[in-house]
């Protein structure tokens, strides 16, 4: 029982997130009327002891859906006394009311939650399907095969590789079949994706299946994990429309002792545009949805939502047939991209001269020059600056050559 002389210090606890104001939910969970976040109101008696005053669990389909920046109406919710869930129905109905809590809760469908690194993003659409635009093109990828793969495990006292390929673009994941015991697998599988923004990246990864019978890993610690063979990223903005690119891309993996080539991945890629007008419309608008600029997330909120999204995607793909293991999903989404390393430190200092305002380089124009243009007021000067900027984009080779001499 709670001591009567205790001074109340109530606080709300949100177990679904570290901040208590943003969390993720799958669309299928909303449609199936799954129960949403469970809120508990507690009274802190001592720094080490809390007394539960009440709790509430609200179904997800009771939340208001917001597609723009309009304010959301707040609502009062009844808190249920903690521990009365085990009573009989009639008795629980009489005693379960504890107090009320005033909440403003909604589904913000105007944001895009990133599950991958911002440098290699493949989807920039908002969460709500009502806000999606028409696709501007079709991406066709033929996963032909791989060659020169290195042995990934031991089988019958010899090196072996059981490779399969995974491709991810927008919300669509594909996986090829496994080719057993060969260093030059041939898949010859073709996949297509709808393209909503050409300023995106498709990621393809090759992995070695380590769950077949008779396979023995050199180290027991990694016996239950599929090994990374490497991955390839292709920016769609670098592809010429209607042209078929057939190349062998190197598969590189970063080891503690350096970068190692694990083989080559043979791909055939073609990007086809559907509407020139839609393409021009996309290039004339910001990359992210409007809500990211009206009410932007903080850096910590973006990171928190991203890791929640990665966990949701990993669980969903783990239930697929055939299942895609969690280590594969994490590698494709760069879950460890934030980790510090000597290589990242060297890259940071290598890019520092490019960011300096007095350093003249073609690579610095998109940054320092746009910042300069934003401070120009006269229309004539602004037009001249934009013309110069377009000239630098169209002929970067001549500018860089003259600067080098």
Q: Return the SS3 of 172.
A: strand
| 375 and 300 housed in the same domain | no
| 98 and 122 housed in the same domain | no
| 22 and 166 housed in the same domain | no
The first and second tokens of residue 133, run together, are 């635009």
5 inside domain: no
| 94 and 199 housed in the same domain | no
148 inside domain: yes
Q: From first to last of its 405 residues, what are the pLDDT tens digits of the chain?
A: 444 333 333 334 444 333 445 666 665 544 444 455 555 555 555 666 666 667 777 777 777 888 888 888 888 877 777 655 544 555 555 555 567 778 788 888 889 988 998 889 999 999 888 899 999 999 999 999 999 999 988 888 888 899 999 999 999 999 999 999 999 999 999 999 999 999 999 999 999 998 776 554 444 444 568 999 999 999 999 999 999 999 999 999 888 788 899 999 999 999 999 988 888 888 888 889 989 988 888 888 888 889 989 999 999 999 988 899 999 999 999 987 766 667 777 777 776 665 554 444 444 444 445 555 455 555 566 577 667 767 766 655 554 444 444
Q: What is the pLDDT of residues 69-117, one digit of tens each?
A: 888 888 887 777 765 554 455 555 555 556 777 878 888 888 998 899 8
CA distances, 34 to each of 62, 73, 314, 381 (Å): 10, 22, 19, 57
227 inside domain: yes
DSSP bridge pairs for 41: 12, 54
Last residue of a domain, one of 87, 108, 129: 108
What lies within 8 Å, CB to CB, of 164 at 6+ separation is 175, 176, 177, 178, 179, 206, 207, 209
Total of domains in the chain: 3
| 293 and 273 housed in the same domain | yes
| 86 and 139 housed in the same domain | no
Q: How many residues does the chain have?
A: 405
| 291 and 149 housed in the same domain | yes
Last residue of a domain, one of 108, 133, 152: 108
| 123 and 185 housed in the same domain | yes
Q: Return the SS3 of 189.
A: strand
Quote the CA–CA distance of 12 and 245 in Å, as a whole number.
56
Last residue of a domain, one of 77, 108, 139: 108
Comparing CA positions, the residue from 42, 39, 31 lying closest to residue 2 is: 42
| 191 and 301 housed in the same domain | yes
315 inside domain: yes
97 inside domain: yes
Residue 112 near residue 289, CB atoms below 8 Å: yes
| 299 and 321 housed in the same domain | yes
Quote the CA–CA distance of 16 and 31 in Å, as a whole number.
20
Largest CA distance in the chain: 88
What is the structure's pLDDT at 72?
Answer: 80
Q: Which domain holds residue 68?
A: 10-108
| 247 and 318 housed in the same domain | yes
| CATH code, 253 | 2.60.40.150
316 inside domain: yes
Q: Which residues of 98-109 are buried (b: 16+ CB within 10 A; e: fewer)?
A: beebebebebbb
Residue 139 near residue 168, CB atoms below 8 Å: no
2 inside domain: no
Residue 265 near residue 248, CB atoms below 8 Å: yes
| 163 and 247 housed in the same domain | yes
Quote the CA–CA distance of 60 and 54 in Å, as a whole number.
20
Q: Tell me, what DSSP letter sits at residue 216?
A: B
What lies within 8 Å, CB to CB, of 316 at 6+ separation is 26
């Amino acid at each position: 029982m709670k001591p009567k002389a205790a001074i109340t210090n109530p606080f709300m606890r949100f177990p679904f997130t570290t901040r208590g104001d943003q969390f993720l939910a799958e669309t299928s969970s909303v449609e199936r009327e799954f129960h949403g976040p469970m809120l508990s109101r507690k009274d802190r008696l001592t720094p080490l002891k809390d007394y539960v005053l009440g709790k509430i669990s609200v179904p997800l389909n009771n939340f208001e859906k917001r597609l723009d920046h309009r304010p959301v109406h707040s609502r009062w919710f009844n808190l249920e006394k903690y521990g009365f869930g085990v009573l009989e129905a009639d008795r629980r109905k009489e005693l379960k009311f504890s107090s009320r809590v005033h909440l403003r809760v909604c589904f913000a469908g105007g944001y895009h939650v990133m599950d991958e690194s911002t440098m290699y993003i493949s989807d920039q659409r908002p969460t709500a399907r009502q806000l999606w635009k028409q696709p501007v093109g079709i991406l066709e990828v033929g996963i032909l095969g791989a060659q020169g793969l290195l042995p990934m495990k031991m089988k019958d006292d010899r090196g072996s590789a059981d490779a399969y390929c995974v491709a991810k673009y927008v919300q669509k994941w594909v996986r090829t079949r496994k080719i057993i015991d060969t260093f030059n697998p041939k898949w010859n599988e073709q996949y297509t994706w709808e393209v909503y923004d050409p300023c995106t990246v498709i990621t393809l990864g090759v992995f070695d299946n380590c769950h077949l019978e008779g396979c023995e890993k050199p180290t027991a610690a990694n016996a239950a994990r599929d090994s990374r063979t490497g991955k390839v990223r292709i920016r769609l903005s670098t592809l010429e429309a209607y042209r078929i690119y057939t190349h062998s891309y190197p598969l590189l993996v970063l080891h503690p002792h350096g970068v190692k080539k694990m083989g080559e991945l043979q791909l055939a890629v073609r990007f086809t545009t559907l509407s020139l007008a839609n393409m021009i419309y996309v290039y004339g608008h910001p990359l992210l949805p409007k809500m990211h600029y009206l009410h932007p997330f903080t850096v910590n909120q973006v990171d928190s939502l991203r890791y929640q999204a990665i966990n949701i995607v990993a669980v969903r793909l783990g239930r697929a047939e055939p299942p895609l293991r969690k280590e594969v999903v994490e590698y494709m989404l760069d879950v460890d991209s934030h980790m510090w390393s000597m290589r990242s430190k060297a890259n940071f200092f290598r890019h520092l001269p490019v960011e300096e305002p007095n350093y003249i380089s073609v690579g610095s124009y998109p940054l320092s020059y746009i910042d300069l243009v934003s401070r120009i007021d006269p229309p004539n000067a602004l037009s001249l600056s934009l013309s110069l900027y377009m000239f630098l984009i169209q002929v970067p080779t001549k500018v860089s050559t003259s600067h080098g001499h």
